[in-house]
Structure formats: structure tokens, C-alpha cells
Amino acid sequence: MAGSRKSDWVPQWPTTVLVLALSVFATLIAPAVAAQSGPHRASPPTILEVTDETGRMVRVPQPVRRIVSLAPNLTETLFALGLGDRVVGDTNYCDYPAEALSKAHVGGPLNPNLEEIAALHPDLVLATRAINQLATVRSIQRLGIAVYATDPRSVEQVLSSTERLGGLLGAEQRAATVVADLRQRLEALRARLSGGEPKVVLFVTWVDPLISVGRDTFLADALRWAGARTVIDARQDWPNVSLELVVRLQPQYLVFSSDQPGQIQHQIAELRGRPGWRDLGALRGNRIIVLSEAFSRPAPRLVDTIEQLARALHPERFAADRPAALRSPARLAPMYSAARGAL
């Protein structure tokens, strides 16, 4: 039955005419076939199957030439790895380095514009568990776009995450060089602070309501590397904190992270008049440290701010690094911006 049905699709021409027709047809299409099979024929992309840091299996086309970043720390990391030219889009909050500002913006990390992402034709979208939503990841996947998510929970995991991204994106050597330098600096800092008593600090993520950081976050670990420990011992990543509890515990320092020095000075001045806040010895004694926003981003610049915080908390451990004229504690401003000097 199949044979008879197939024969219905073949013209019932005489054999000689059919052979001649096929010969002419073959002659006509041969150049086209040869052109398609030549070196310019598009080959299907190589697919690399990897497990991202949230445990998801991701099929990543290789090589990755076009990337959309959905988090400021990921954008920073890509530029640190020398991959800024592959970034075709990022978020409205991706402000470092300056080149990131010139990229196409796809909205905020929590609610990026899916149409704008698709229009950029990325090979890969990078997300991070801390600020991107799983619903966003799934929506992008439904568009047929690979999404790789990171989830560093410690300073060491920030470094290993950087290495993994380098391997995924063909920048293994650059990643190895960057991370080796960061690890060396951290070990030097560990040796310098060895034997010292950690300072007790309140890291203020948000004022109203008062939010700090949990013990199992990269931020709490960054504080530990800088010779500090958080006064709040919470399992939640971003715990709401009772101001009454903070007053009872009396942290030695208040630590903020902001790239808006004028705004943070105004906020601190306003806190001085608030009930509860004005009972904090750290606020009354101006034991306030303002770090750059880099401290809140799990990217290579985090190590810069860890070093800066360590210098602010333990100046005696760095006295040999400063000129003699600056070694007197009286010359150090009590409210200190570790990124910029005295406020």
C-alpha cells in the first residue's frame, strides 16, 4: 500500500526524459548545495550543560557572545573578567563601571522588561538569587533563552562564583588571575588581623523598618573578614530588627553602605534625634562607618571594601602603613567613610 501511495507523487514520465530532467536539475542545484556545505554554512551552536548555583540544569550555547545581566554585581563581575564588550543589556541599577551605564537597560532586577530582553537576542541571561525572582527566570526560559543564576553565600563563594563564570564564558585565565589576587589580599588581611578581638557592629541595610543582615550571608562573612561581627544573630538573610534589642546590645559601630554621601549624612543627622537611636553609644560617639555600595555587592570590588572596613575598625593594625603625621588617633575623623576618607 505504501508503495502505491508513493508512486502517486512521482510523475509518470518516460524513463529517458526523467533521467535527462534529473541530470539538468542536478547541474542547476549543485553550486547551491556546494555553497551551503561550504565554510560559511551556519552550524548549530554547541550546547554546554551546566548546573548553576541554585541547582538548576542550564543549556548554555557556546560560545556566549551576547549577555544580559540582571544584577549590578554580575555586571561588575563581567567587566572585571574583561567581558564588558559582550554585555548587551543590564539593569537600571548597574552603575559600575561607568561603561555599564551606556548599555541598554532592561528595567529593575525585580521586574525586568521581558520584551526588551528578548529584543537584545542574548545567548545567555545572568541572574542572582538574592535580588532576582524565580518567576522572572522561568519567564525568560519560556522565551527559549538560557538563564544562569548565582547564589554566593560567603566571600569565598563570591570568588568561586567568579571563577565559574569565567569558565562558562571562556575567560578562565582572566578569572584565575583576578581571583588569585583577591585570595592573596584576603590572606594578607587575615594575617594582619590575627589575634585581634572582633568589633561588634550593626550593619544597617534599611532604616525604616530597621533591617540588618543574617549570619549566613556574604555580608556577614565580609564583616568577619574585616575583623567584625554582627550584633544581630539571625538565620534570616534580611531580618527585621527590633531597635530596642539593638539599644540593649549596644554595638560598638554602626556600618552603612551607600554611594550617596550627602543623603547618608542627612539620614544619620536625622537619626540622632529619634528615640531609641539617640540612646546608641555608637551614634552619640560618632562611631559610624560609611562604606561604598560595593560592600553590598558580591563582586570582586567587595574585597576592596573589606580592606577599607578593616582599616576603619582596626587602625592600630595598619599604623605602620600610614605616615607618622597621621598615626595619632586624634587626627582621624570619628565618622569615617572608608571609601572616601572623612565625611
- Write out the DSSP string of 53-87: TTS-EEEEEES---EEE-SHHHHHHHHHTT-GGGE
- Per-residue pLDDT tens for 181-213? 999 999 999 999 999 999 999 999 999 999 999
CATH 3.40.50.1980 is the classification of domain 196-342? yes
Q: Is the pLDDT of residue 171 over 60?
A: yes
Please tell me whether residue 89 adopts helix, strand or coil conformation: strand
Measured in degrees and rounded to the nearest 5, phi and psi for residue 262 equal: -65, -45
Residue range 311-329: average pLDDT? Answer: 71
What CATH number matches the domain at 46-178, 3.40.50.1980, 3.60.15.10, 3.30.1490.20, 1.10.287.610? 3.40.50.1980
- DSSP assignment of 190-231: HHHHTTPPPEEEEE-SBTTTTB---TTSHHHHHHHHTTEEES
340/77: higher pLDDT: 77
Across the range 65-86, mean pLDDT stands at 98
Answering whether pTM is above 0.85, one says: no
* pLDDT tens digits along 322-340: 654 433 332 233 444 444 3
* Domain extents in the chain: 46-178, 196-342
Average confidence score pLDDT of the chain: 85
Q: Tell me, what's the pLDDT at 322?
A: 62
46-178 and 196-342 have identical folds: yes
CA–CA distance, 85 with 1 (Å, rounded to integer):
60
CB atoms within 10 A of CB 248: 9
Which one, of 218, 74, 215, lies nearest residue 157 by Cα?
Answer: 218
- pLDDT computed for residue 215 by the predictor: 93
